[in-house]
Amino acid sequence: VRQMDAFIITGAPLEKLPFSDITYLDELQGLMDTLEKQNISQLYVCWGGMIALNYFYGIHKEMLDAKLFGIYPQKITNQSNLLKGLTSGFLAPHARYAEMSKADILSSKDLIINAYSSTGHLFLVSAKNKPQHFLFSHLEYGPNAFIKEYHRELNARGG
């Protein structure tokens, strides 16, 4: 790990579960501790961002009334190197059942919201004094990802 320039911890479809129910939680927290101690740049994506914000900063997860699912314009509120070249209004896909508490984030002296969607949901949060970024959009989605996820959801419900 020491030789890495950066580390990405991606998501998993686990946001409906309490963090304490994750069977590999101890190992994941150990890895996150190592990344922090080594001062390695960290990008936590979707559920990865949820678990990391909770672990490092005590930010609470809140279940949404319905799954956030769509492509929405984003508003940049605080610039970040990760947003370089983007302007407010850029489109980004979101797909999740939970959101981290914006009230907790806004009251934290250690965190800043860099951008959020037109629906008011988080896009990017960053630590003010550590190389940690928490991305809640799925920029990795290709052109067919949403339809595949839609069908996966239908199949999971038996539909």
Structural domains in the chain, CATH included, are: 6-156 (3.40.50.880)
pTM greater than 0.85 (yes/no) = yes
Position 16 pLDDT exceeds 70: yes
Determine whether 138 is an active site residue: yes
User: Which of 15, 46, 99, 133 is labelled catalytic?
Assistant: 46
**pLDDT tens per residue, range 85-112:** 999 999 999 999 999 999 999 999 999 9
CB 40 within 8 A of CB 1: yes
| 115 vs 130: CA distance, rounded Å | 18
Residue 39 has pLDDT above 90, yes or no: yes
How far is Cα 75 from Cα 89, in angstroms, rounded to an integer? 6
Helix or strand holding residue 42 (H, E): strand 41-45
46 alpha carbon, distance to own chain's centre: 3
Catalytic residue status for 46: yes
Catalytic position from the list 27, 62, 140, 151: 140
In the set 94, 121, 133, 138, the catalytic residue is: 138
Q: Report residue 156's pLDDT band, with 50, 70 and 90 as the boundaries.
A: confident
Q: Which two tokens stand for residue 28?
A: 């994941």
pLDDT at 78 over 70: yes
As a whole number of angstroms, the distance between CA 34 and CA 32 comes to 5
111 is written with which tokens? 């965190």
